[in-house]
Amino acid sequence: MKRIIFSLFLAVGLVPSFAQAKWGKSQTDSLVCFEKYNEFGSLYNTKAYAEAYEPWKVVYETCPSATDVVYRFAPKIIEAKIKATTDPAAKEALIRLLLSSYDKRNTYFPGKEAEVLAQKADDFWTYYPDSAKKAYEMYKVAFNLDPKAIQPSYLNNYFNVVIKLYKDEVLKSEGLLDGFNDVAEAIELQSNDRNVLIAELTAKDTTGTITEREKRSLDINVKLLAQSEKLVANIEKGIAPLLTCDRLTLIYSDSTFALNKNDKSWLIRAVKMLSKERQDTSGATDCTDNPVYFKAASALYALEPSAQAARSMGQLSVKNGKWADAKKYFEDAIRQEVDPKKRAKDWMKIAYVSDKLGQSSEAKRACLESAKQNSESGEPFLYLASLYAQAAGTCGSNAFEKNAVYWAAINMANRAASVQPDLAPRAEKLAAAFHKGVPDKSIAFQFGFKDGDTYTVGCWINERVVVRY
């Protein structure tokens, strides 16, 4: 369509004043820009990127405010020209042109500064791998502007820069950890937005009111969410040796807390890192024994009672055996959390504290809610299997009824394995142990049950089972 319109302007020899302002300082400039714009656009569409360079450059220099297409197409066009150029000086000039095009884009078409600067930093790192410190500084500017706007591929390369600087001893452990947190927090912010959108579109898909465009958006965001989760997991794996409790104690100490007790960002990072599930050489699963964790969690909740802050206070309450308080904090975290997988984990914590409070039906409900939030996890069913087994001897009025709960426990263990196959070894071990407790044939016969009959386990369990020996 643009080509048709531009050709019309050329044919009649007229260029509207509003167009002339954008497309050059004079009518002659405008006519040249229209012509060259169509030329490089056609070449670009046929993937003749290097050939598109000369007409593109005319538009870039003559009418820089014409359209953002000039800048969005710039990277592929200039990079193709760089690859086709053998002269070192000419190649260097093209690289500098590429980098300056990002600044020029932000000047003429503001609004995406963070995304554009991250792309600039990425290209700088590509062409100047020995200038990691400068690339790092460029990435940091982008992060400070808007971490949500930085694409996962740029986040990955940013962390590669951080790793290099750490290995070169330019950054210390704190710098490496900050780099990890930069990436993790950016991913979390992006994932939160995606989770909200996915929930909305999934609801539409369920009711049959989703459009084809929305379906594509749903598929894309589900894939991007999975990619983001994989990126964080890979980065975490890479810096796992730094995440030991001993090392984190050096970073999150009483002295550093005193300096940062009113810094919300620092507190969030401290709480997250100290409560992060891990397996270090000491066998610890988290670092919440660090006294700073209690201080940081309390200070964070006072500053901003967010989902993370509430979750941390819940974990503190668990450590102190304050089960009712813990339950309230985890419920508060769930109300504020948009990530379903995090909600799933919070529901499992509620299941645990509900069991401690003697609220068996609440514990069961929490497990089932967790399973709803994360359909790929079998952990809720595995835990529920253990809860059912605990009820043996108390649920029912006779020997058959009191031991029939083991069939329900076996069913849940099997369900856990079917939902999450890697849980199969644990589930099978539990099921085998539970099977030893089921009523024997003589007891079942005494109460009118034979192999293959169905029976509904009572109490809070309320599960239908098949009599099996």
| pLDDT over 70 at 11, yes or no | no
Cβ-contact 117, 154 below 8 angstroms: no
Q: C-alpha angle 451/455/459, rounded to 5°?
A: 145
Give residue 384's region: left, alpha or beta (phi > 0; psi -120 to 50). alpha
Contacts of 188 (CB under 8 A, 6+ apart): 339
C-alpha span between 283 and 293 (Å, rounded): 19
* Encoded tokens for 165: 């600087």
Query: Closest Cα partner for 43 from 52, 55, 31, 56?
Result: 52
Q: Is the pLDDT of residue 394 over 70?
A: yes
**Strand partners of residue 465:** 455
pLDDT at 285: 73
Residues paired with residue 456 on neighbouring β-strands, in sequence order: 464
Decide if 63 contacts 34 (C-beta within 8 A): no
Q: Are 150 and 141 spatial neighbours (Cβ–Cβ below 8 Å)?
A: no
Q: Phi, psi at residue 455, to the nearest 5°?
A: -150, 140
Residue, of 251 and 284, whose pLDDT is higher: 251
Q: Is the pLDDT of residue 281 over 50?
A: no
The total number of residues shown for the chain amounts to 469
Q: Which two tokens stand for residue 79?
A: 């990079």
Q: Give the pLDDT confidence of 15-38 residue by residue, as tens digits.
A: 444 445 677 778 888 889 989 999
- Does residue 277 register a pLDDT over 60? yes
Radius of gyration in angstroms for the set of CA atoms belonging to the chain, rounded to a whole number: 30
Token pair for 267 = 């507190």
The pLDDT of residue 366: 97
User: What pLDDT is recorded for position 16?
Assistant: 44
Comparing 5-14, 39-48, 274-283, the range with the smallest average pLDDT is 5-14
The C-alpha atoms of residue 56 and residue 69 are separated, in whole angstroms, by 10
Write out 58-75 in H/E/C secondary structure.
HHHHHCCCCCCHHHHCHH
- Residue 469: how many CA atoms within 13 Å on its side-chain side? 13
- Confidence at residue 443, expressed as pLDDT on a 0 to 100 scale: 87
CA angle 363, 327, 426 (to 5 degrees): 45
Considering the chain, what is the average pLDDT of its residues? Answer: 89
CA terminus-to-terminus distance, the chain: 75
Whole-number pLDDT of residue 21: 63
Average pLDDT over residues 241-247: 81
How far apart are the C-alpha atoms of 467 and 463, rounded to whole Å?
A: 12
Tokens for 191? 């994932």
- Residue-wise pLDDT tens digits, 128-161: 999 999 999 999 999 999 999 998 889 999 999 9
Which residues does residue 105 pair with via DSSP β-bridges, in sequence order?
none
The segment with the largest mean pLDDT, out of 91-105, 195-209, 212-226, is 91-105
Region 278-298: mean pLDDT is 75
User: What's CA 127's distance to the chain center, in Å?
Assistant: 29
Q: Is the pLDDT of residue 206 over 50?
A: yes
Cα separation, 75 vs 81, whole angstroms = 10
3-class DSSP assignment, residue 463? strand
Alpha-carbon separation of residue 399 from 30, 285, 461, 463 (angstroms): 93, 40, 17, 18
- Assess contact for 48 and 17: CB atoms under 8 A: no
Which pair of structure tokens corresponds to residue 248?
A: 């984190």
The DSSP code for 131 is -
Residue found by looking up tokens 């210390």 in the block:
172
Question: Do 469 and 440 form a contact (C-beta atoms < 8 A)?
Answer: yes
pLDDT at 279: 54
Give the model's pLDDT for residue 469: 80
Mapping DSSP to helix (H, G, I), strand (E, B) and coil, where does residue 305 land?
A: coil
How many CA atoms does the CB half-sphere of 427 hold within 13 Å? 22
Report DSSP state, residue 456.
Answer: E
The CA distance from 188 to 19, in Å, is 42
What's the farthest any 2 CA atoms get from each other in the chain?
103
DSSP 440: P
Pair of tokens at residue 105: 């884009």
Say which residues have a Cβ less than 8 Å from residue 212's Cβ, sequence separation at least 6.
Answer: none
Q: pLDDT tens-digit profile of 396-420? A: 889 999 999 999 999 999 999 999 9
Average pLDDT score over residue span 94-121 = 96
**460 CB neighbour count, 10 Å cutoff:** 16
pLDDT score of 159: 92
